[in-house]
Amino acid sequence: QVQLVESGGGSVQAGGSLRLSCAVSPNLYSNYCMGWFRQVPGKEREGVAIIYTGGSLIWYADSAKGRFTISRDTAKTLYLQMNSLESEDTAMYYCAAVLNYDPNRCPVTVDSYKYWGQGTQVTVSS
């Protein structure tokens, strides 16, 4: 059973930065799509950034392009570096993973992901 634990959320002023971390257990070496999703109360959860552990595939939502960077530290930790934060980025951020053998495609929809963390809150004040 894959366990994901997020950390690094907090409160920051607009224009600031935060780095989210997702501790992964057991280690996921390859063949997994892993990503960050976020949700605002009353709205659907949406994908922010996704990475494939077995290759170079990375996807960003339009809202994240140029500001957020997804990365991995070996097989144990997933990161999301968020710069130039805006009030619209305020949300609960979730880490997710799913087993996937297609190196050229990772799903971006919430219902495609099997494993989820509990979330970490990000609040950006203007």
CB neighbour burial string for 56-65, b if at least 16 within 10 angstroms, e if fewer: ebebbbeebe
Q: How far apart are CA 63 and CA 89, in angstroms?
A: 9
Q: Among residues 105, 104, 63, 100, which one has the least CA distance to residue 84? A: 63
CA distance 23 to 73: 10
Print pLDDT tens along the chain (126 aa).
899 999 999 999 999 999 999 999 988 878 999 999 999 999 999 999 999 998 889 999 999 999 999 999 877 899 999 999 999 999 999 999 999 999 899 999 999 999 999 999 999 999
Q: What is the distance between the alpha carbons of residues 86 and 14, in angstroms, rounded to a whole number?
A: 5
